[in-house]
Amino acid sequence: MSAGTERFVGHIAGLGTTSGVRIVIGMWASSPFGAFTDVMVQSAEGTRTLLAPSSSIADYVSGAYSFDVVRVEPLSVSMGEDSLSLDAGPLSVEAELGATTGVGRLLGLIPTAVATHPRWLTAINPVAKVLMPGVRTVGATRDQRRQYYGVTGARLITSARVSWAGDDLGELSSVRPRVRFGFSSVPKKPQVVDVTTIAVVVPSEVSGT
């Protein structure tokens, strides 16, 4: 894509299963591609799979993060007050949502303009590392964009039914080991966060040096 700043606004759901499969669902209401959903799946053995709704989104996401398998699949998702439902090719997720997390309540007190600003996210990155091991609010993507994660709310996932190609993946579990698609994982406790992601092309990429 062209040089500059790219902004994605929506939700990220992270959950694990007792089979060892871990799943990260990006549900974007606003982005350079319009509204879309993509899914990152890491198996118990460590294989990282991207499920994307189009080749252009697959190319963009796989350029920013690391995957062993990339698949273009039809994706549909719905999230209500108490539930999340996803159909993504071979993957099916039916999850129940619970209360706002403690961190989510604190984040809700911060004005969105502050909570999603790169300067704020750079400043709190050391704190995020300590409070939520594996989680980062700022870092570099594989294609050398500077990326910021600004979370403004968080709700627990309390239960989930997850299957792959019809095979049950077990009960809801923590996201451990942490996922390794990029510089940041998701929180250990299964949850859905409200997030603004900002990607900035670094000067060397703009100038071609």
Rounded mean pLDDT for each run of 10 residues along the chain, 209 residues in total:
80 98 98 97 98 98 97 96 96 97 92 96 92 92 94 97 97 96 96 97 52
Q: pTM to 2 decimals?
A: 0.93
Query: What is the C-alpha to C-alpha distance for residues 146 and 141, in angstroms, rounded to an integer?
Result: 7
pLDDT at 130 (0 to 100): 86
Residue-level pLDDT at 131 = 83
The pLDDT assigned to 209 comes to 32
Q: What confidence score (pLDDT) does residue 203 get?
A: 64
At 53, which CATH number?
2.40.400
Number of domains in the chain: 1
CA distance 40 to 61: 10
The pLDDT of residue 3:
53
- What is the per-residue pLDDT for 171? 96
- Give me the domain span that covers residue 133: 5-207
Q: Is 187 helix (H, G, I), strand (E, B) or coil?
A: coil
pLDDT at 16: 98
Contact 14, 173 (CB under 8 A): no
- Cβ atoms of 53 and 73 within 8 Å: the answer is yes
Give the C-alpha distances (Å, rounded to integers) separating 125 from 100, 139, 140.
22, 9, 13
Contact by Cβ (8 Å): 174, 16: yes
Tokens of 110: 């911060």
Cβ–Cβ < 8 Å for 100, 151: no
Token digits of residue 57: 């989104």
